[in-house]
Amino acid sequence: MRILTLRASLLVGAIAACTAPARADDLRGALVAAYQTNPDLQAARASQRATDEGVPIARASALPSLSGSASYTENLEKSTTPQFQPNRTVSAGANLSLPIYAGGSIKNSIRAAKTRVEAGQADLRGVESGVFSQVVSAYMDVIRDQAIVGLNRSNVQVLEVNLKATSDRYEIGDVTRTDVAQSNSRLALARGDLRTAEANLVGSRERYVQVVGQAPKDLAPPPPLAGLPDTPEDAVETALANNPDLAAARLDSKAAAYDVKVAGSARLPRISVFTGTSYNDYLNSVPINDTVPGTVGTHFGSSQAGVQATIPLFQGGLPAARERQAQASEGATLEREIAIERQVIATVRSAYTSWKASLDIIAMNQTAVDAAALSLEGVRAENTVGNRTILNILDAEQELLRAQVQLVAARRNAYVAGFNLLAAMGKAQAKDLSLDAGPESAALYDPQVNYDRVKGKIWDWARDPAPKPQSTRTVDSPAQDATIPAQPAP
């Protein structure tokens, strides 16, 4: 009974490692850290800012174009024929052009660019949900593996006490050498399982550092998940309306339709108005020749304005080829939209099933743990009166450990499956998780702010500062180990 009491105390401490740490980091803090410093998320934001520039690039074709020129010419050799031949010339000019009609290509290019901005913003929300899913998975993996290490260490300590007790009983002839060998074998296997569990814990902690950007400390139990659906049909309905990947695919199809119109506009006329001025100065270098009239001028200028129309008559089939190409691309985006819709439906239904199954498995494993604990207590009691062998005790201990490990894993799987379900439904973004509220909060990144900043810029020199990394490096983070927080005695 003393061994059973020791085992119970150790196992309670191991379970407490994943349920009630005294000083803990919480899941919200991990999500905020990843939201602010994760390189995948920061890269997606930078890519979206590049997509934003597509709108001013497309709009530039509709704006006036102003250019100037200047030159200085020194005539090194002149003809001997009497004529107007200055020694040097300075020329300057300016031209202004404004498109009036371009067959709809500019208008549709701008529409396509705006639509791709919206699609990119939806993609950014998808990346955000994906990063959060990685954080939750890494967070729960650390909790799970930490608890499993605690359980295996408890098991090793119990088996060490068991081996000592069996050896003492062998010395007085109460058990055989076989009993001692069996106890020694189980202890060796338990030590091997412990090393495996410790390696898994180190791997989970390193993965946590990779995703979150900082080492895990005492991780608190995660909060309950809110907003989970009652039926898979409800989940699918919500996902079809809110999944960011599906929203991005729909917008990509819409943008591709505008591309078809842009390609088709190459057949239509283009009309623009233009004006220009030029000035030439010979710097008093014109030879005066009375026999050649008009050779005494030293400078002159001119100005012009007009309307230019370009009417395509034959382009070798280029407009039709480009239009067919754009139509094929549009067809591809439409098929991808359906493929993503299929994927979303399958993911949601699978995640819902996994989540519900994990909840059932938790209940079953809890029953198994309770029954295995009662069985071990009975086997130990019966062993004291000779009705059970040492092997029976070892088997009962192994059965209890297996049930406890499976219970810890089931709790992890249920939470991760539930969060993945919310992510597939489009309900696991920063605004859904309220990361901008509470003591540990983050200012939410709004991609619309950058778009509004750049969409109307027309100044050729309005560049941004050189980019610098926004995410944090982990090169200086210490290598993780398999230590687990010390728990107060029960």
Query: Which residue from 264, 281, 257, 226 is spatially nearest to 111, judged by alpha carbons?
Result: 257
Same domain, 391 and 448: yes
What pTM does this model have?
0.86
In a domain? residue 432: yes
| Rg, Å, the chain Cα set | 38
Which residues constitute the domain of residue 450? 2-62+104-267+319-454
Contacts with 254 (C-beta within 8 Å, 6 or more apart), sequence order: 115
* Domain count across the chain: 2
First to last CA, the chain: 17
pLDDT of 71 higher than 90: yes
Same domain, 201 and 302: no
Same domain, 405 and 376: yes
Question: What is residue 79's predicted lDDT score, i.e. its pLDDT?
Answer: 66
Query: What SS3 class is residue 308?
Result: strand
Same domain, 380 and 324: yes
Average pLDDT rounded to a whole number, residues 350-357 = 94
Same domain, 209 and 235: yes
Integer CA distances (angstroms), 424 to 65, 175, 224, 355, in order = 47, 59, 18, 13
In a domain? residue 463: no
Contacts with 278 (C-beta within 8 Å, 6 or more apart), sequence order: 91, 92, 93, 94, 301, 302, 303
User: What is the full DSSP assignment across 346-388?
Assistant: HHHHHHHHHHHHHHHHHHHHHHHHHHHHHHHHHHHHHHHTTSS
Same domain, 258 and 273: no
Q: What is the mean pLDDT of the chain?
A: 87
Query: What SS3 class is residue 101?
Result: strand
Q: Say how far apart CA 168 and CA 170 lie, in whole Å.
A: 5
Same domain, 36 and 168: yes
Condensed to tens digits (0 to 9), the pLDDT of residues 359-390 reads: 999 999 999 999 988 988 888 888 777 777 77
- Helices 318-384 and 232-242 pack at an angle, to 10 degrees, of 140
pLDDT of 411 higher than 90: yes
Question: What is residue 344's predicted lDDT score, i.e. its pLDDT?
Answer: 96
In a domain? residue 408: yes
